Copies of this chain bind each other. A is one copy, B any other.
């Protein structure tokens, strides 16, 4: 389910916006800039979306969707596995959402915090649901006293990779293993 290189106009607008928002933040992206990369005029965006914020909100929602789908696949693949493998599988799945399904998830995790309040409040329930899955998993794995705190630092380590990980040169399986080892502990 590759979400990159959409063929319909609406999809191309989202693709372009996600990439631009990832690079410049929401406030740093102009509709004229989006339109230019899509190959239309800025006014034409309003045939597909009601406002700039609506475009950004759709990008964020899709970014969370991508994470959820990656989670579901990981959960299905690792139900019967041992505890460490379950963690490793979900870490790999989150990294997959960040790097292997278009810039949506990466745009969401980097730009959400500084996005307009209207956009943030609209998507916060979706975010919370995904975060709750993680907290529940970590609680289930029984690694530490504070699974909530553990999830936050784990998210910090995983999500920060969008700032420095190079998909051309790096290996996502390797990165997932490194992060899993750090958060599992070296002698389980």
Contact = CB atoms under 8 A, between A and B. Distances in A.
Contacts of A155: 160
A95 to B, nearest CB: 12
Copies in the complex: 2
Interface in A116-163: 146, 149-150, 152-161, 163
Contact of A160 (B114, B146, B153): B153
Interface stretch (A38-46, A69-77, A80-88, A180-188): A180-188
Nearest to A185: B186
B186 A114 contact: no
Given A28-B27, A146-B178, A163-B113, A186 B183 contact: no
Contacts of A89: none
Interface stretch (A3-11, A18-26, A52-60): A18-26
B158 A178 contact: no
Contact of A156 (B113, B114, B157, B186): B157
Nearest to A179: B153
Most B CB atoms within 10 A — which of A28, A153, A161, A183?
Answer: A153
A114 B28 contact: yes
16 contacts: A23-B114, A25-B25, A25-B27, A26-B28, A110-B114, A111-B114, A113-B163, A149-B175, A156-B158, A156-B159, A156-B160, A182-B183, A185-B185, A185-B186, A186-B186, A187-B187
